[in-house]
Amino acid sequence: MLAQSDMEKQAQCELSAIRDTRSPLAVQYIRSACNWLVVNGDSLLNASSKGYYVCLVRQLSGAQSNEAAAAIMSACRASNPL
């Protein structure tokens, strides 16, 4: 269970990224990425994955279609291999 401060961090992450986003897929992945970053973002064990989730939050923001979101997700994965 997330602590209140973690819930606040996730809400702030979502608010900053979802703003003008119209793609349901992008919103779903932004929410998941924000959650991952709040739960795992400070862990050195997950450092190799962090760039991918940061990319998702930054680049999916404002996505207008699911097709665009899918292309962005693919580009984030390609630029941040595990």
Chain segment 12-26, per-residue pLDDT in tens: 999 999 999 999 999
The one-letter code for the residue type at 9 is: K
Dihedral sign of CA atoms 17, 66, 80, 40 in order: positive
Using only C-alpha atoms, the chain has a radius of gyration, in whole angstroms, of 12
- 80 or 3: which carries more pLDDT confidence? 80
Quote the tokens at residue 55. 């990319």
Across residues 45-65, what is the average pLDDT?
95
Residue pair 13/57 in contact by the 8 Å Cβ criterion: yes
Across residues 55-67, what is the average pLDDT?
98
Task: Specify the pTM.
Answer: 0.90
Dist CA 56 CA 15 (whole Å): 14
Identify the pLDDT of residue 1.
Answer: 56
